[in-house]
Amino acid sequence: MSDLILIEQPERFAGVTVIRFNRPDKKNAITSPMYRTMVAALKAASDDPAIRAVAFLGSEGCFSAGNDMADFLAYAMSGTTEPPAAVDFLKTLATFDKPLVSGVDGLAIGIGTTLNLHCDLTIASSRSLFRTPFVDLALVPEAASSLLAPRIMGHQRAFALLVAGEGFSAEAAREAGLIWKVVEAGEVEAETLRLAAALAAKPVGALKIARDLVRGNTQEVLARMDEEMVHFASQLKSAEARAGFEAFLQRSNR
Ligand code: COA
C-alpha cells in the first residue's frame, strides 16, 4: 500500500471509507501503484458490510491533475499489450456496489474529472476547475466519458469538455450536471463526508435498488470503456502523444 493514497475511516462519519489523493507536490497525479491501491480499497469496502459509502477527496486546492505523465510515457515506451492500470480502477469504480461521493477542491484534470462521472454525488469548491485535455495530449476520452458526458450534459458541452479541452468552472460544471453542488473551499470535506455518512445510514437494501435503477446499464458503460481503451492505448504509444509527455516532463526537469 502506498501513502500517496490514504485510506481513512473517519470516526465521526460512521460507515464511510475515504480514498484520499495524497501527492500534493505533484498535484495528486495518479501513478499505476496508486490505481492499484484504490482498487484494493474499493474491493475491501465492497466486501465489508460495515462500510456503506465511499468518498474520494484530494488535498487543499487540488483534487487530481490526472494520470501521471511519467507513467504515461513509461507505458508508451514499454511495448506492453497489457491495459494501463487505470482500466482496472475504472472498471472497479463503474461496478462498485455502494454509493460513491467525491469532494473536489481545485484542480480536477483528466481522470480527476472523469472519475466523478462514476460518483453518485460530487461536491466542489467554487475555485475548482474541471478539464480533460485528452486531444491536446493526442489521447482520446476514457472512463466511458464519451458515453456518460453527452448523456448528462448534451453534445455541445460534452464536446467542449472532452474534445475541445475547455475548462469548466465549478459553477459551469454544476450547471451542466457534471457535479451536484458548489460550496466554499473550506466546506468541501465536511459537506462531502456529511453526505456520505447520510447515505451510509439509509436502509441498505432500498438504497442499493434505487442506486442501481438510477445508474442504469453497467454493461453498456463497461463496453464503452473497452471501446475507448482500444484507441486510448494505441494513441498512448503514438509519436505525437510521446512528444507531448516528454515536453511536459522536460519542462518539469528544468
Ligand atoms: N503528471 C506528473 N506530474 C505532474 C502532473 C501529471 N499529470 N501534473 C502536475 N505534475 C507535477 C509537475 O510536473 C510539477 O512537478 P515539479 O514540481 O517536480 O516540477 C508539480 O506537479 C506541480 O505542477 P505545476 O505544473 O508546476 O503546477 P501548475 O499549478 O503550474 O499547473 C497543472 C498545474 C495541473 C495545470 C499542470 O501541472 C498540468 O497541466 N499538468 C498536467 C495535467 C494533465 O494533462 N494530466 C493528464 C490528463 S489526461
Nearest C-alpha neighbor of 54 from the set 142, 4, 121, 117 = 121
The pLDDT tens digits of the residues spanning 155-202 come to 999 999 999 999 999 999 999 999 999 999 999 999 999 999 999 999
Q: Ligand 1 atom 5: the closest Cα is on which residue?
A: 29
CA of 53 to the centre of ligand 1 (A): 30
Sort residue 177 into left (φ over 0), alpha (ψ -120 to 50) or beta: left
* Residue labelled with grid coordinates 467554487: 126
59 alpha carbon – ligand 1 mean position (Å): 15
Identify the residue whose cell numbers are 468552472: 169
Task: Write the pLDDT tens digit of every residue in 58-75.
Answer: 999 999 999 999 999 999
The DSSP string of 103-116 is EE-SEEETHHHHGG
**Model's pTM, two decimal places?**
0.98
Which residue ranges make up each domain of the chain?
A: 2-186+203-252
Residue 254 confidence (pLDDT) above 60 = no
Selected from 3.90.226.10, 3.40.50.2300, 3.20.20.70, 3.90.1490.10, the CATH number assigned to the domain covering 2-186+203-252 reads 3.90.226.10
Q: Is the pLDDT of residue 253 over 90?
A: no
Which residues have any ligand 1 atom within 6 Å of their CB? 26-27, 29, 65-70, 107, 109-110, 133-134, 137, 139, 252
**pLDDT, mean of residues 113-142:** 98
What's the 27 CA to ligand 1 centre distance in angstroms?
6
Best CA proximity match to 205, nearest among 95, 52, 102, 92: 52
Low-confidence winner among 32-41, 212-221, 244-253 (lowest mean pLDDT)? 244-253
pLDDT at 1: 46
**Substitution candidate for ligand 1 out of 27, 28, 107 with most atoms within 8 A of CB:** 27
pLDDT at 252 over 60: yes
Assess whether pLDDT exceeds 70 at residue 214.
yes
